[in-house]
């Protein structure tokens, strides 16, 4: 599998539970835009068969290399960014993991019951990135207990390992010059935006601006048979600025990303 096939499979899995992304993409295409993905993000669990260090070799097989590390103390996350070594147009990858040992004993116990169900060799092929949940569906009670402490943990418990967002590169848009214009169009069409810390996170001074929709909501039937609507995935938009003449900043800003994570919170 090459990285083009990888992202094609990922996109199909993503839009299955994120219909807004396909509709927004079509909205842009109808304006004559050719969309370039800035980055794709994944969530996973530390100290598990699908922890970051076990997934990294699969990304390396696809031609990626790690180039940045990030910490989110309040959300108890560690993350790493990856860039394709030869294809400059390939999306960057942002892979974060939940530091389970920093959570309460109650939440750790719930998560360890899921981890125990993951095959030890789960991270043996790139298709792990769209396999989704690798454990039995949680109870709604367990989901609520996770959500009370970590929305990230609750999201993972139901949706598992898959792309939680794709990101449109605003730098490559022809008819929408900045994030303000993008956000105006989205709101005009009825899409709700993540306004935590403002609709636009970051600034030209930080060399990166980002905005995102709020996650779609999907109906999920929990282990005890109850059906509830929960956040699935969202669509992001990023505008990068030059860090030197002709060279766009390629990193991420922890303060921005911390707020972007909240696109999947239960609002």
pLDDT for residue 42 is more than 60: yes
Separation CA 25–CA 21 (nearest Å): 6
CB count in 10 Å sphere of residue 241: 15
Residues, the chain, total?
267
Which of 266, 267, 260 has the alpha carbon at shortest distance from 43?
260
Buried b / exposed e over 111-142, threshold 16 CB at 10 Å, is: beebbeebeeebbeebebbbeebbeeebbbeb
pLDDT for residue 267 is more than 70: no
Q: Which residue range(s) make up the domain with 92?
A: 3-264
Separation CA 10–CA 162 (nearest Å): 8
247-262 pLDDT, tens digit each: 999 988 877 777 777 7
To which residue do tokens 């389970």 refer?
100
Give the mean pLDDT of the chain. Answer: 94
Question: What values do phi and psi take at 185, rounded to 5?
Answer: -60, -45
Number of domains in the chain: 1
Predicted pLDDT of residue 61:
96
Strands 201-203 vs 163-169: parallel, antiparallel or unpaired: unpaired
Task: Report the DSSP beta bridge partners of residue 64.
Answer: 84
3-state secondary structure of 79: strand
Domain with residue 193: its CATH number is 3.10.180.50
pLDDT for residue 147 is more than 70: yes
Quick one: pLDDT band at residue 63, thresholds 50, 70, 90?
very high
77-109 pLDDT, tens digit each: 999 999 999 998 999 999 999 999 999 999 999
192-226 pLDDT, tens digit each: 999 988 999 999 999 999 999 999 999 999 999 99
Which of 9, 121, 115 has the alpha carbon at shortest distance from 62?
9
Separation CA 94–CA 113 (nearest Å): 26
The mean pLDDT value for 168-188 works out to 96
pLDDT for residue 36 is more than 80: yes
Which of 56, 90, 85, 38 has the alpha carbon at shortest distance from 260?
38
Segment holding 149, helix H or strand E: helix 140-149
Sign of the four-CA dihedral 179, 180, 184, 185: negative
Predicted pLDDT of residue 209:
95
In this prediction the pTM is 0.93
The mean pLDDT value for 35-60 works out to 96
Predicted pLDDT of residue 256:
73
Degrees, nearest 5: CA angle 163-168-170: 155
Quick one: pLDDT band at residue 16, thresholds 50, 70, 90?
very high
Which of 210, 266, 216 has the alpha carbon at shortest distance from 236?
210
Predicted pLDDT of residue 10:
96
Quick one: pLDDT band at residue 266, thresholds 50, 70, 90?
low
Residue percentage of the chain with pLDDT more than 70: 99
Residue percentage of the chain with pLDDT more than 90: 89
Q: Could you tell me which residues come within 8 angstroms of residue 210 by beta carbon, excluding any fewer than 6 positions away?
A: 167, 179, 200, 201, 202, 236, 237, 238, 239, 256, 260
Quick one: pLDDT band at residue 189, thresholds 50, 70, 90?
very high
Strands 64-72 vs 201-203: parallel, antiparallel or unpaired: unpaired
């Amino acid at each position: 599998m090459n990285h083009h096939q990888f992202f094609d499979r990922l996109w199909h899995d993503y839009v299955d539970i994120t219909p807004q992304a396909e509709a927004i993409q079509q909205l842009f295409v109808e304006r004559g835009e050719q969309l370039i993905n800035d980055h794709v993000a994944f969530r996973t669990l530390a100290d598990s068969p699908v922890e970051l260090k076990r997934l990294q070799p699969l990304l390396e097989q696809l031609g990626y290399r790690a180039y940045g590390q990030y910490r989110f103390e309040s959300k108890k996350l560690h993350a790493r960014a990856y860039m394709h070594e030869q294809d400059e147009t390939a999306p960057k990858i942002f892979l974060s993991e939940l530091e389970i040992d920093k959570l309460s004993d109650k939440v750790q116990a719930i998560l360890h019951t899921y981890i125990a169900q993951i095959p030890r060799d789960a991270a043996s092929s790139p298709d792990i990135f769209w396999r989704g949940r690798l454990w039995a569906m949680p109870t709604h009670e367990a989901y609520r207990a996770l959500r009370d402490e970590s929305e990230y943990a609750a999201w993972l418990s139901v949706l598992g390992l898959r792309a939680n967002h794709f990101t449109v590169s605003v730098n490559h848009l022809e008819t929408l010059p900045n994030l303000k214009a993008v956000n105006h169009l989205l709101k005009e069409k009825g899409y709700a935006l993540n306004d935590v810390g403002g609709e636009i996170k970051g600034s030209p001074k930080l060399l990166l601006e980002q905005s995102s929709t709020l996650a779609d909501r999907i109906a999920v039937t929990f282990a005890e048979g109850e059906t509830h609507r929960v956040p699935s995935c969202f669509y992001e938009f990023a505008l990068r600025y030059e860090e030197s003449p002709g060279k766009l900043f390629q990193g991420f800003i922890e303060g921005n990303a911390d707020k972007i994570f909240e696109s999947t919170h239960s609002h």
